Amino acid sequence: MIQPIYLDYNGTTPIDPEVIAVMRPFLETEFGNPSSSHWYGIRPKRAVEAARRQVAALLNCRPEEVFFTSGGTESNNHAIKGMARSLKEKGRHIITSTVEHPAVLEVCRYLEREGFATTLVDVDDAGLLSVDAIAAATRPDTILISVMHANNEVGTIQPIADIAALARQQGVCIHTDAAQSVGKIATDVQAMNVDLLSVAGHKLYAPKGIGALYVRNGLLPEKFCHGAGQERDWRAGTENVLEIVGLGKACEMADRSMQESFRHLKTMRDRLHEGLIARLGHVRLNGHPENRLPNTLSLSFKGLEANRILEEIGLEVAASAGAACHSDTVMLSHVLEAMRVPVEWAKGTVRFSTGRMTTTGQIDHAVEVVTRAVKRLRGSA
């Protein structure tokens, strides 16, 4: 069976062959515990620290500011819970946005049980936050701002450096969920001036189940995981050497090919968009037209249902939906709702996301497949 064309790289990425190659020894022969003082622990220990340097190089920070986690969700939990609890004597107010990933929104909701308050700041119709709106939401008891670097559904990139400048003026800690942006656009923590930044390995051609959290030196988030003292006694548990090595290699590859990758992702994305517009015409783009991830294309087809589109194309193209439709009800994504996308458009939203392995031939075939499907559905409607 011929596999469908994969256009869901924002959902997850395949593991790059170079990443697999550097991981292999730690799957086959280098099985030692990096905390062991004997011979078998030496190479795993060195490999973990080498990977830490590779992640730090991509983020432009010190290696000791990088902590390994199980992924973006855990990194967000560490960052938000850890800083909120360590700063609770100063205040209990957190600011975030209406378009955050559940790995941020649900953490904030959970903290409300502990007496914290959360303000959700609205975005404009392109999914973009206003720094003035963030400023208006700040209070004397605000201790943390958490805003994603780039949206996973529509790709809109937030003005993190400007928000961080505001946070500095107010003496507020700032965290950004960069799960979707690391490896696609620059994620220089010095340029962005953030205090904490979350990384998800499986969004940049590393394995699932590995991530990292940048924590600026001098910050003391509450210890998240107690145990034998790994990760400088902040996140206990035997290190996942195999996947840490993979994440390090993926970050090294992203660092060396950022500009080339950006051009390729954008070229493939725009070719898909232009092809569909030329053949279908009546299509709505969601997200900022320029200020968005180079690989992300969220399109709405008026009057259609996303799940029906995906069913029609599923044997030939893999993408994701922006709405779940069941009988007479439509469950829209909270991102599309926050952007005030009209229901007749929003329910027919499909997200396509290109990747390093995407080819021109795949894009051209995807254009034909989606075009046929949408025309069939429009005809039946």
Q: Which residues are catalytic?
A: 325
* Nearest CA among 319, 307, 323, 321 for reference residue 354: 319
| Own/partner long-range contacts of 282-286 (Cβ < 8 Å, ≥24 apart) | 284/341, 284/345, 286/127, 286/153, 286/154, 286/322, 286/336, 286/339, 286/341, 286/349
Query: How far is it, in rounded angstroms, from Cα 358 to Cα 371?
Result: 19
Q: How far apart are the first and last CA of the chain?
A: 31
Beta strands per DSSP E along 256-375? 284-286, 296-300, 317-318, 320-321, 323-326, 329-332, 349-353
Query: How far is it, in rounded angstroms, from Cα 362 to Cα 245?
Result: 31
| 8 Å CB contact between 286 and 93 | no
Output the six-digit token pair for 22.
Answer: 């550097």
Query: Phi and psi of 318, rounded to 5°?
Result: -105, 120
What's the angle, vertex CA 30, arms to CA 29 and CA 34, rounded to 5?
A: 160
Buried-exposed string 343-358: b where 16+ CB fall within 10 A, e elsewhere: eebbbbbbbbbbbbeb
Output the six-digit token pair for 201.
Answer: 């390995």
8-state DSSP, 59: H
